[in-house]
């Protein structure tokens, strides 16, 4: 008795034609909903485009000009000359190198510390609220304020850290390697909490029952972490890494206050700023802006490829 075939055959195409027919003519309600949706997002979209898309376009235009603010009259189209100038300058490559080093090391340290902190907040037996409150202080505090605190801490004869760790008179902020270490320290202190909070949210999504099941199966704490927790947290880790990597690549405030880019400690952002406000060269400054934008786009591209389906926004849950 196979009557289901006869039964199913006529109904399936019927519903399909129903659907295609409907798609072409939207109901009044659906159209009103569309209009309302567009009206509601319009102001936000306009502001975001006005402040980002338009200036970036304008920056591309500026980067193709010779445009020195001291001699605005002599502005003229020079093609890719500014880019050639930047890309053949050792300053650009050095700044890029410094930026990559700072980004890589600080994000790596933050990931480890952030994970420890996340586990601490997730598992600690007491004082969870206190720890969360305390770690929000570095997150919330003005970066410049924190940077000054670190600067004074490492200033000879003023700072408690030079007194504690050095002989009191050495000036670590004037040595390239030590200064970069301090910049990384300041960066790590300020942003590990953000990383930890994102990771903690990821931890909270790992079902407690899985941990119990693995425990029953005889997994040690370390095995449970590596085999259960980490794989399930992968999306959260990737999101946290993406945000922090791009953020670290843009590093500016800490360096500006701690060394102002002296002794070969400047990042690409510092270089761009100096070209604009010290050298007053809009053409070169814009070319640097565009190059930084391209670097960020490349980094983001690789991360988002790594995400696959786990990209933020792709899951509408």
Ranges within 85-114 binding other proteins (CB under 8 A): none
Q: Which of 157, 188, 194, 187 is nearest to 172 (CA)?
A: 157
Q: How many CB atoms lie within 10 A of CB 308?
A: 10
Q: Establish if 162 lies at the interface with other proteins (CB under 8 A).
A: yes
Segment interacting with other proteins (CB under 8 A) among 75-83, 88-96, 173-181, 193-201: 193-201
d(CA 71, CA 74): 6
Stretch that binds other proteins, among 90-98, 122-130, 176-184, 217-225 (CB under 8 A): 122-130
55 binds other proteins (CB under 8 A): yes
* 36 touching other proteins, by CB under 8 A: yes
Q: CA angle at residue 50 from 140 to 286, to 5 degrees?
A: 85
CB closer to other proteins out of 153 and 228: 153
Residue whose CB is less far from other proteins, 191 or 228: 191
Region 223-242 residues binding other proteins, contact defined as CB under 8 A? 236, 239-240, 242
For residue 154, state whether it binds other proteins (rule: CB under 8 A). no
| Residues in 254-283 that interact with other proteins by CB under 8 A | 256-257, 268-269, 272-273, 276-277, 282
Residue 162 vs 259, nearer CB to other proteins: 162
Angstrom distance (rounded) from CA 48 to CA 32: 25
* Residues in CB range of 228: below 8 A, 6 or more apart: 206, 210, 211, 214, 219
- Residue 68, SS3? strand
Nearer to other proteins, 205 or 210 (CB): 205
Q: Which residues contact 275 (CB under 8 A, 6 or more apart)?
A: 281, 284, 285, 288
């Amino acid at each position: 008795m196979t009557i289901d075939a006869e039964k199913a055959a006529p109904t399936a195409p019927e519903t399909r034609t129903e659907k295609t027919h409907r798609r072409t003519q939207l109901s009044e309600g659906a159209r009103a909903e569309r209009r309302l949706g567009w009206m509601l997002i319009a102001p936000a979209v306009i502001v975001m485009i006005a402040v980002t898309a338009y200036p970036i376009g304008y920056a591309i235009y500026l980067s193709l000009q010779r445009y020195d603010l001291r001699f605005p009259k002599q502005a003229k189209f020079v093609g890719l000359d500014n880019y050639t100038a930047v890309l053949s300058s050792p300053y650009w490559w050095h700044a890029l190198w410094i930026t990559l080093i700072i980004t890589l090391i600080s994000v790596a340290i933050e990931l480890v510390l952030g994970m420890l902190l996340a586990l601490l907040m997730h598992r600690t037996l007491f004082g969870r609220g206190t720890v969360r409150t305390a770690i929000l202080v570095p997150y919330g505090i003005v970066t410049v304020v924190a940077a000054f605190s670190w600067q004074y801490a490492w200033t000879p004869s003023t700072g408690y850290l030079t007194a504690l760790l050095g002989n009191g008179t050495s000036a670590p902020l004037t040595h390239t390697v030590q200064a970069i270490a301090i910049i990384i320290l300041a960066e790590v202190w300020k942003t590990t909490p953000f990383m930890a909070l994102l990771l903690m949210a990821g931890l909270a999504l790992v079902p407690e029952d899985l941990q119990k099941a693995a425990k029953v199966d005889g997994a040690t704490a370390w095995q449970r972490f590596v085999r259960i927790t980490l794989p399930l947290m992968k999306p959260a880790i990737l999101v946290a890494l993406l945000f922090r990597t791009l953020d670290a690549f843009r590093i500016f405030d800490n360096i500006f206050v701690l060394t102002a880019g002296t002794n070969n400690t400047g990042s690409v952002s510092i270089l761009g700023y100096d070209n604009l406000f010290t050298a007053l060269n809009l053409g070169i400054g814009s070319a640097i802006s565009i190059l930084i934008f391209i670097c960020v786009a490349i980094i983001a591209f690789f991360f988002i490829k790594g995400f696959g389906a786990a990209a933020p926004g792709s899951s509408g849950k």
